[in-house]
Structure 1
């Protein structure tokens, strides 16, 4: 009888212990309140030092990285003048294309609107040619107009009516006239076969644009540069 009572007591203790373990198994510990050791912020690679300069220069135009001297290519030597022509033709497209597109919509004269449509289309072709040429010859191209060209754009855009037309024709004709000398120099001196062919394409385009602008009847004496003495 005493042995039976002892076994019953052991069984009761075992059941109690099992219940205690079961209750503990369902317990979930509370989150750690001390998060000082957790790195929840950005890593060092995502941030800059507090004393990092904020006015670091950015690469924008080719003028910031001048390329000097003659370079050898498989199409022949490429001189500084050759490279200058490629860059200046690109610069011309950067401001003349958007202004021609603007004039198609805003010009007062129907003739100026028609001329602008032709100039815009031809500049689109010329710009594709100059970008293809620059890629082959590894010439870095400008990405925005010069300060002077931006001034011309602002002067044109700030006008309306007939004043818009005359200012537009004035600056475009002046710009085309300025590049003629460089085109002639490169055509006569370049030893690079690709540049020589491109100079002829550029010359034809510029001459045609000059004629188109003059056909508007707005190339007054005021639109011509002052003759050199």
Structure 2
């Protein structure tokens, strides 16, 4: 798959490797005072979550463009690729300004979603694609709203604005496939499996490892965000 190579469902403290299933008691703790406003643990974790989401949803979108059995699934796949390339560009622009370390790999759970969908085909692929992605986007949607309403950091606020539009778009295109089993998906969304913390946390990047870039497609509909003080991203 070209470009690069998964979504984190709860709070994580990165790169201290606290599992996303465990909400820290100090999410409002200020960890950095920046010219864009104070940065809290929750703010930092949100930037990492958005990055991690793209690291699995972008390749799944590429898979869907190849395997999707209906036009609606292919459209949803294109939205995944476009949307997460755009969000990834913003994450990579603001992370160095805020002294945030970004992962290069998704969590084991997220990588498992990719592996599962890679192994499927036909109607099974289409159904699992729509339901897994509707579940994960529904889970992160509440987090986006909470960060947007509470952060005092203008860069995090800008990312939350962008994520709000993108996540809602992705929820909508999954529902338009007509394949979402709402009862099961909403149950899975509100009652996630209790997995070990290590399965829910993206590993930190290896020292000296080049940063993974989610390259926008040639026909991308996303407009790169203008970030004051940010260096141009590569990709």
- What TM-score do you get using the length of structure 2 for normalisation? 0.67
Note the 1:74-153 alignment, pairs <5 A: 74-153=35-114
Does residue 1:156 correspond to 2:117, yes or no? yes
1:118 CA displacement: 2.3
Q: Which has the larger radius of gyration?
A: 1
1:64 CA displacement: 4.8
1:127 CA displacement: 0.8
Paired residues of 1:171 and 1:223 also in contact (CA < 8 A): no
- What TM-score do you get using the length of structure 1 for normalisation? 0.68
d(CA) in 1 for partners of 2:73, 2:144: 26
d(CA) in 1 for partners of 2:59, 2:113: 12
1:223 CA displacement: 4.7
* Equivalent of residue 65 in structure 1, options 16, 25, 42: 16
Name the Cα RMSD after superposition. 2.0
Paired residues of 1:174 and 1:223 also in contact (CA < 8 A): no
- Name structure 1 gaps, 5 residues minimum: 1-61
1:144 CA displacement: 0.4
Does residue 1:192 correspond to 2:163, yes or no? no
d(CA) in 2 for partners of 1:95, 1:202: 16
Counterpart residue number, 1:206: 167
Highest relative contact order (Cα 8 Å, sep 6+), 1 or 2? 2
1:63 CA displacement: 4.2
d(CA) in 2 for partners of 1:88, 1:203: 13
Paired residues, number: 168
- Name structure 2 gaps, 5 residues minimum: 1-12, 19-25, 192-235
Q: Secondary structure at the match of 1:72?
A: strand
The structure with the greater share of residues assigned to helix is 1
Paired residues of 1:109 and 1:162 also in contact (CA < 8 A): no
> Can you list the C-alpha shifts for 1:108-158, whole angstroms capped at 9, x where unaligned?
112211221122112111110111111211110111011111111122112
d(CA) in 2 for partners of 1:199, 1:125: 13
